[in-house]
Amino acid sequence: MSDKKRVLSCIQPTGDMHFGNYFGAVKNWVELQATYECMYGVVDYHAMTMPFNPIKLRENTWELIFNLMAVGIEPQNLFIQSLVPEHTELCWIFNCFASYGQLSRMTQFKDKSATASEGEDGFISAGLFDYPVLQAADICVYRADYVPVGKDQEQHLELARNIVQRFNNQVGKEYLIMPEPLYTEFTKITSTADPSRKMSKSAGEKHYISLFSDSDKIRKQVRSAVTDTGENTGGEMSPGVKNLFELLKACEKIETYTALKADYDAGNLKYAPLKEAVAEALVEISEAVRSKRAELNTRKKEVKEEIKASSAQIRERAQQTLRNVKELAGLLNVKY
């Protein structure tokens, strides 16, 4: 076992990966592998909390696995949640240590349930209400020290910490590790079509730029990016222009960023060169990951077996944690 601190982070299999996902989380995941013992999960159980298609769910799960490997996530650090059933068993135990009141105050539940209620039958699953407890189990089943979080996930991590404290107090032993937030620098990317909203697939095709998209399509989307909307910004940089600069900086084109920012500050910036620089920077990243993805596609069966094996190996850690939790909670264990 490694002496490094352990990091756990997960992502839902929603299909194609876009630059918002990449710069907002996944690029950071790749870099964390050099410093920490990392475990990254594709959480297909979480994807069931909203209406889903079973065939697409399985396809999207493998699609995301291949995409994560293409951007630089090491296969031994990857697992698929449904291949580790200890997540859901620990979730039930954690349900008995979670506060109904705290769950009912979760901002994401309020937002997503409002969206679900607007559907054809207005169905809101109990899983949507309860999934923060499953998230807590995701973290604690591996005894993770750190969880990379953004502002929208702080509530969920606090719930996990409360569950840990309640469990440890109940069993009279400091067994479960209190997970800490890992605040790392990340870039918040907004839609190039509407800079007032984040880059997201759920908003529609024009609101995200796929990391694995055709180069010409990327260039076209960036060329059509909204810059100034005509609204009075009080002399501040408009959201659309700011987003383009953020993209350029996220691509680590610092020299180009500095030169174009100087033009902006001097009042001499033309948006065409800015858009061209952003487009070329995104295309450079996209071409590199598409090349790696194409190589992975030539050995799909081998890659899938590799991830099943890594999931099985990572599962051993979850099994040990669950055995200890059940023992401490007065439950019976089965022999593996």
Tell me the residue length of the chain: 336
At residue 58, what is the residue type? R
The whole-model pTM stands at 0.92
Name the segment(s) of the chain with CATH classification 1.10.240.10.
201-295
| Dist. CA 265–CA 18, nearest whole Å | 30
Cα separation, 310 vs 208, in Å, equals: 31
* CATH number among 3.30.450.40, 2.130.10.10, 3.40.50.300, 3.40.50.620, domain 6-186+300-329: 3.40.50.620
Pairing of strands 37-42, 6-11: parallel
Please tell me the distance from the alpha carbon of residue 188 to that of residue 243, in angstroms, as a whole number.
9
Q: How far apart are CA 222 and CA 272, in angstroms?
A: 10
Catalytic residues: 112, 198, 201
In tens digits, the chain (336 residues) has pLDDT values of: 568 999 999 999 987 899 999 999 999 999 999 999 999 999 999 999 988 999 999 999 999 999 999 999 999 999 999 999 999 999 999 999 999 999 999 988 878 777 766 666 778 899 999 999 999 999 999 999 999 987 667 888 999 999 999 999 999 999 999 999 998 777 789 999 999 999 988 788 999 999 999 999 999 999 999 997 555 455 689 999 999 999 999 999 999 999 999 999 999 999 999 999 999 999 999 999 999 999 999 999 999 999 999 999 999 999 999 999 999 999 999 875
Q: State how far the Cα of 135 lies from the Cα of 159, in Å rounded to an integer.
A: 9
What is the Cα–Cα distance from 67 to 78, expressed in whole angstroms?
12
List, by residue range, all CATH 3.40.50.620 domains of the chain. Answer: 6-186+300-329
CATH topology of domain 201-295: Tyrosyl-Transfer RNA Synthetase (1.10.240)
